[in-house]
Structure formats: structure tokens, C-alpha cells
Amino acid sequence: MDELTSVFIQEGREQLQAMEAGLLELEQRPDDHDNINGIFRAAHTIKGASGVIECHFIESFMHKVENVLDRLRNGEIQVSGELAGLLLRCCDHLGILMDVLAAGIAEPAAEVSLAGDALQGELAAHTSDATATAGGSVVEAEADVEASGGGVVNTDSWHISVRFGPHMLRGGMDPLSFLRFLASLGEVLAMETIPDAMPAAAEMDPESCYLGFEIRLQTRSSKADIERVFDFCRDDCELRILPPNSKLAEYVKLIRELPEDDMRLGEMLVRCGALTQSELDEGLLSQQQVRLPADAVAPPQPLGEILVEHKVVQKEVVDAAVSRQAQVHEKKAVEARLIRVQADKLDQLIDLVGELVIAGASANLLAQRSGQGELVESTSILSRLVENIRDSALQLRMVQIGETFTRFNRVVRDVAKELGKEIDLVISGAETELDKSVVEKIGDPLMHLVRNSMDHGIEPGDVREARGKPRRGRVELNAYHDSGSIVIEVVDDGAGLPREKILRKAIDKGLVQPNQTLSDQEIINLIWEPGFSTAEQVTNLSGRGVGMDVVRRNIQGLRGSCEVASVEGSGTTFTIRLPLTLAIIDGFLVGVGRAAYVIPLDMVIECIELKGNSAERDFLNLRGEVLPFVRLREMFEVDGERPARENVVVVQYAGQKAGIVVDQLLGEFQTVIKPLSSIFRHLRGIGGSTILGSGEVALILDVQTLVQRNARREERDMNTPAMLRSTSQN
């Protein structure tokens, strides 16, 4: 695939996204003109660009879409739910067509083409009935442009001749900005400035505009597009547009109609490449002969008639033109501040930074051993810089989660329609940033949760009203940062999880013994078990019982966790916690025996000494609070005697605190996370490994599992009679 095509696909998808977002908005606010223009612009850009790369199947499809949008924009047809739905399906189809193009296939497969034809048929319905009712004045004009414009394949240039009226400047408009905007439609091959209308210095009013321009523009835009550039000043300028490959006679006519001296203007046209000198001579000569009688008979045509004759009077709403130009300017300003970088280049950079961190750690260690003060000082400066580089490199990969969230607008709309429920999606924290690789993988699990909430959670409107809730259901997507992780919540205000039903089902499936007593939370957590579903009927959305366990596994694969909380009758909250980054973290290095372990620094709250009197217990009194702890020495069965002094590292995860008992505290350490091989995948309590400055390997503790292990044991202990407690400890 050539570069142009890949750029097209990338930008096309962005436009497609913009179009989809606009269409979703359209349903909410059908009268928003800016929005309709935005949709049209996106569609038009895709069409134009597909023409440039000569991808005709997209071009012709988008042409039909554009026609309908054009009618919509001109107020000839009204926005309806059905029309918006149709246009959204067109967006989907366009997405498929882009996939086809991206795959490098010349033509879409037969069934795709069929689907496209069907959509085009539906679109045609919206074009034709409007023609019948509205008289089709625009269609006529469009046909005219097509005929004289020579279509998109013609790459020769347009000739645009414009004379700005004297009041332009006083009206606050700058002709140059129109011309710059015109230049953005294509390439200006040549431009001549015509100052002839300017009187001598004494009479010249510096606040009047006297300039005119002859422009050769190479573009794939249509005549209507070129005219649209001048929409805003249409009343105050004379505009003539000659399509590519116009006949000599048309240029001669142009020369005669313009106020400047014929020869002078002819010269200008020659200079900007519209005509050759001999053509000009010949043309003017032949015109000269018919000129006198013509002038004698007919008085000079009024401006209006000329404009009508030139088919330039296609009045557009002025504010639309203003807002479009403003938006284009804004977009350009934003674009200028962004650079596209390939993702693998970034990954490579992160890898290198990782190596740099490791190498820096070893240099630090050697410097400290050497005992040379200056060397230690310089390496410490170095390591500070490395830390900064690490942070900025990781920052590069951070993206806002908003884009992932906004996709759900469409999902919620479609699914709600399908289910016959009324559901609003509320998004908050869209600007929360997290690692790009995490964002890419979080989409599917989120999709599952959102669909589940809509299908199982939110009740139908009537039921909701009967229960005294607002008729419209509500699904929320929230994101925020919390102690070194990002938290994503999927909240619904539906019926909540039915505990009774879950328990019954679990007993049926043999997951739980009938006589077992379970806490409420334990019952709710059963939904994460493989093959569990309580939906009475299987819909194509959810209820097949493959889902929640897959969701959980996917999230755990990202070193994250997910929890569910639910209040029967008032809703369910799914909480996903994910690490901010998958590559490098600030770690806290601890030692047990001869081995070193790393605890993510974000989770460490404090370090205290383990008093001798708690030696045989698994909890301690932390300022009046019970703090359960684990002994790493026992957990990993490290050989050797306990040292005289042990330390407790207090960690916090998801609001729960726990202690980790270690021999030594070795201090902060920049940790490059190296994933463990898949053999160790099922190892509990270890999140990865890293390389120390000395070249030794240290294991990274999975604090989440450790904390949860503690929490579970606590829960179990509370439910177990006291006499059994001693045996349950391990």
C-alpha cells in the first residue's frame, strides 16, 4: 500500500469518526446547522480524498451519501430517526469499504457490494422524493456544474477571476483570507493581483478595497465548492469561475466583461498561464469585429444578470460559511501542533529508555562502591535525568481515554433501540490519560460490561416507572486516577444483581454447596465464574454466559483487577483498576534473605518496624487499626533465619491496607518491568521481574493479589467458628 493510501485510510477513519459523532448528535438536536455542516464536510472530505487516491468504490458511494446530506443541509429534507439510522449504517458500510481498501483488495467482495447497493437504494429514496416536492433547483445547478466542470478526473486548472467590492474591508472582511482559504482547496498554480481599479493617491480611500485577482487553481473540488469559499462576500464581489479546459471564447468573454482594459487583462491571463499569447491575439481580434454592434445594441449587463448567467448565485446561509471557515482555521492550528509518530517507534524508544534505566542503575551501584564522592555525585545527576527522560517517554504513550468512551455513544444508541429501552450514556473523566497499549485492550471488556448493564441491568421503561424511577435509564462511564492506577467504572441505575437468583443458579451448577453460607459479596462475585449467566432469555447481546469470566481474564492480563458492587433495585457498579503503564514504574526495593523484591512505590504508604511481640500473629496494631500482614519469608519459603529486626511495608490497594513483612528496606528503585515467561503465568503474588544494577534479578510483587489474599482470609475467618481458626491458617 502506498503512502498516500495509508494516509487516506488514517485520515478517512478520523473523518468517519467525526461524521458518526455528528450523526449521533443530529438525533438529539436536529436543528443544529453547524453540526449538519460538520457532517457534510466530513463526508465531503472523504469523497474528495478518495477521488485523489482513485479509490472509486468509496468515491461513488460517498457521492450518494453526500447528495442526501446536501439536501439535509439545504433544509429540503427533515432529520428523522430513520434517516439518521440510515446514515449511521452508511458510516458502518464506509468503515467496511475502508477495511477493504486497507487490505489492498481492488474491489469489495460481492456481498459487501450488495450491501452497499442496498444502502444506495435507500439513500436514493431520500434524494428522489425531495426532488418531487422541492422542485430540485439544486439538482439542476449541480448537473450544470458537472457538465461544465468536466468531472473529477480532469486535472487541469480552474480559472477564477474575482473583483472585490469597495466595502469589503469596512465590513471587517479580509479578501486575502478568502484567497488563502481558496488555496487550501487545492494548489494555486498562479495568481495575479489586479490593482487597476485603485484611483490615484489623492482619491484613494485606504479603507476601500480596490483589488482584484486572477487565479489558476488546481483542485478536485467542484464549482460549488469554489463558490462556497466566497459565500460570505458574495454580495460584495464579482466572481467568475471558468472550469478547466474552457474554450478560448469563454476567456475572451471574461476579458470583455471585466472592467479592466482588455489588453492589460489579457496580459495577466497570459502571465498566469490561462492563455497563450497567440490565442489571446486571435481571440481579441475576432471579438473586436463584433464588438461595436454588440455594444451599441445592448447596454452593459447588470451585475446580477452576469452572476446568474455564470451560475454563481447559489446563496448559502452566511453564518454557516463563517463557522466553517473559523473551524477550518482552528483545526489547522491544532494540527500544526501535532506530529504523527508510528507506534513501534515509540515502543522502541520506551525499550531503549528501559535499558538506559537498567544501565544507569548499575553505573550508580558501581559509583557507590568506588566511594569516590565526585563520581557518586555525577551519577546521581545522571540518574535524575534518566528519571526525567523515562517520565517524558512514558508520557508520550499516554492517550486520553475519551476516544474509547465516545465510541460507546453509538453502541448505547443502537443497543437501546434494539432492546426497546430508553437509555442515556453519561461520560465523565474522558480526559483521564493512560498507556496507549492499555487503551487498545480495554475496549472489548468495556463493551461487554456496557452491553451487560444495558441488557440485564436496566429495566424496560414501564417497569422503571412502576418502580418509581425515571423512565430513561442511565449508564455511566467514569474514569479517574487513583494511587498509581486508573479506575474505570461502568455504572447503571438498573435493577441490580439478583442475589437469590445467582445463588440458586450457582447451586444448580454445582459451584456452591446448598448448605454453604456465603456473604453477599461472595454471592455477587459468583458472576465472574466461567459459564455463569442468569438471564432468562438469551439475547444476541449477552446472556450466553461467556463473558464475565472472559472480561475478568482480559483485565487481569493487563495486570488490572475488576470488582462489582450492586444494590438490588438501584443499580450495579463495575470497577476496573488498571496500572497506568505496562513498562516502567517507580519501585520500592526490599530484601528477604539474599533475594530482592520490588513493590510498586505508588502503593507503599509507610514502613514501620515489626515489634517482637507480634512475632507469632498475622496482624498488628497500626495506631489503633488492625493491619493484617503477610511474611514474604514464609510465603516464598525463603531459607535462613529471621533477622533480629524485621520491617513492615504498609501498602494500599483499592482502599484496603495490608502489611508485607521483609528483612531489609533497600530504598527506591526505578523498575523496568520484564514480563515473566508464560510458564509462570499462574504464579500468584508475582507480577513480573526486573534487573537490578548488579545484574541480579528481582521479582516484582503483585500487591493486589497479596492484599486480596489478606482480605479473603479475613472474610473467611469471620465466618469460621473461632475454634477452627487455628487450622485455617497456613
Partner 1 sequence: MGTQNRLSISEDLTIYHALEHKERLIAALDAGDGLELDLSQVGEIDTAGLQLLILAKREAARRDKALAIVAHSPAVRQTLDFCNLAAFFGDPVVITAHEQR
Is 718 a residue that touches partner 1 (CB under 8 A)? Answer: no
Is 560 a residue that touches partner 1 (CB under 8 A)? Answer: no
User: Which position among 66, 122, 192, 663 is part of the footprint of partner 1 (CB under 8 A)?
Assistant: 192
User: How many chain residues bind partner 1 (CB under 8 A)?
Assistant: 27
Is 204 a residue that touches partner 1 (CB under 8 A)? Answer: yes
Is 198 a residue that touches partner 1 (CB under 8 A)? Answer: yes
User: Which position among 53, 68, 160, 211 is part of the footprint of partner 1 (CB under 8 A)?
Assistant: 211
Q: How far is the CB of 423 from partner 1 (least distance, A)?
A: 51
Is 551 a residue that touches partner 1 (CB under 8 A)? Answer: no
Nearer to partner 1, 198 or 398 (CB): 198
Is 189 a residue that touches partner 1 (CB under 8 A)? Answer: no
Q: How far is the CB of 25 from partner 1 (least distance, A)?
A: 35
Residues 161-180 that bind partner 1 (CB under 8 A): 164, 168-170, 174-177, 179-180
User: Which position among 191, 365, 580, 686 is part of the footprint of partner 1 (CB under 8 A)?
Assistant: 191
Q: Using only C-alpha atoms, what is the Rg of the chain?
A: 35
Q: How far is the CB of 268 from partner 1 (least distance, A)?
A: 10
Distance CA 266, CA 200 (A): 23
Nearer to partner 1, 216 or 657 (CB): 216
Q: How far is the CB of 169 from partner 1 (least distance, A)?
A: 5
User: Which position among 103, 132, 153, 201 is part of the footprint of partner 1 (CB under 8 A)?
Assistant: 201
- Which letter, b or e, does each residue of 82-113 get, where b requires 16 or more Cβ atoms within 10 Å of its Cβ? ebbbbbbebbebbeebbebbbeeeeebeeebe
Nearer to partner 1, 177 or 286 (CB): 177
> Which of 631, 644, 537, 650 has the alpha carbon at shortest distance from 592?
631
Q: What distance separates the 2 farthest-apart alpha carbons in the chain? A: 122
> Which of 557, 699, 584, 7 has the alpha carbon at shortest distance from 349?
584
DSSP-derived secondary structure for 13-31 = HHHHHHHHHHHHHHHH-TT
**Measured between alpha carbons, how far is residue 230 from residues 223, 236, 308, 310, 500 in Å?**
11, 10, 15, 14, 69
**Measured between alpha carbons, how far is residue 242 from residues 307, 355, 435 in Å?**
13, 62, 52
Q: How far is the CB of 200 from partner 1 (least distance, A)?
A: 7
Q: Are strands 485-492 and 433-435 parallel, antiparallel or unpaired?
A: unpaired
User: Which position among 8, 40, 181, 210 is part of the footprint of partner 1 (CB under 8 A)?
Assistant: 210
The C-alpha cell of 575 is what?
Answer: 470497577
Distance CA 284, CA 677 (A): 84
The one-letter amino acid at 90: C
Neighbours of 718 (CB within 10 A): 9
The C-alpha cell of 453 is what?
Answer: 448493564
Is 195 a residue that touches partner 1 (CB under 8 A)? Answer: yes
Instruction: Lay out the site mask for partner 1 across 18-57 (x = CB under 8 A, - = otherwise).
Output: ----------------------------------------
Instruction: Lay out the site mask for partner 1 across 270-299 (x = CB under 8 A, - = otherwise).
Output: --x---------------------------
Burial of 701 by CB count in 10 Å (0-12 exposed, 13-18 middle, 19+ buried)?
buried
Q: How far is the CB of 400 from partner 1 (least distance, A)?
A: 32
User: Which position among 102, 112, 141, 183 is part of the footprint of partner 1 (CB under 8 A)?
Assistant: 183
Q: Which stretch binds partner 1 (CB under 8 A): 127-135, 184-192, 466-474, 593-601?
A: 184-192
Is 701 a residue that touches partner 1 (CB under 8 A)? Answer: no
Nearer to partner 1, 272 or 357 (CB): 272
Neighbours of 69 (CB within 10 A): 27
CA atoms within 13 A of residue 331's CA, in its CB half-sphere: 14
Residues that bind partner 1 (CB under 8 A): 164, 168-170, 174-177, 179-180, 183, 190-193, 195, 198, 200-201, 204, 206-207, 209-211, 213, 272
